Amino acid sequence: MPEQESAESRGCTAPGTPGPWAAVFDDERTAAVRALELEFGELFTHVRRLFAENADRLSPGMLPGAYKVFTTIARRGEITLSALAETLHSDKGQISRTVRELEELQLVQRTPDPADGRSSLLSATPDGIRRLDAVRAPRENSLLNALESWHVDDIRELTRLLHALSASEAPD
């Protein structure tokens, strides 16, 4: 029976101990993650600028955070204040103040929650939706245009990887 090759002879070490390539792998991984962080930073800066511009077009002087609250309500259709605060990982009091501002701007309305008489459902007003559509229209196709030269499989792969990252899961 031929002698089996040992883990040591293949350059491997016992489980849990770093192998000879660990330093290179860690350096490459660290460099790759840092480059990704920089690119995310640039992307976030771009998105914050877009939110600020859209917020100001929706209602001059509106802060980007209020715009995010409004777009979340508009996207959800109906949502309770508690669920909204949880979704946005924000303080319920701050979200409540922002919602009052949005109500004053006639962008958001409250209706009684049929499932809980003590609670209200928040929804965008028809005028709020119309105004939001008008604000988004100039940039509506910007992502479509930016990805025009990309192969559809690359777009799907990016979507899959971003989903895995946001879910803190390893990609399949």
Band (142; pLDDT cuts 50, 70, 90): confident
Residues 4-39 pLDDT 10s: 444 444 444 455 555 555 555 678 888 888 999 999
Residue with tokens 């946005």: 88
Confidence (pLDDT) at 1: 43
Number of other residues whose CB lies within 10 A of the CB of residue 124: 23
In the predicted model, what is the mean pLDDT of residues 46-50? 90
pLDDT at 168 over 60: yes
| Domain parsing of the chain, residue ranges | 22-138
DSSP secondary structure string for all residues of 47-77:
HHHHHHHHHHHHSTT--HHHHHHHHHHHHHS
In the predicted model, what is the mean pLDDT of residues 128-149? 88
Report field, pTM of the whole predicted structure over 0.75 = no
Residues 72-125 pLDDT 10s: 999 999 999 999 999 999 999 999 999 999 999 999 999 998 887 788 899 999
Confidence (pLDDT) at 12: 47
CATH number for the 22-138 domain, one of 3.40.50.2300, 1.10.10.10, 3.10.450.50, 2.40.40.20?
Answer: 1.10.10.10
Cα distance between residue 54 and residue 146, in whole Å = 19
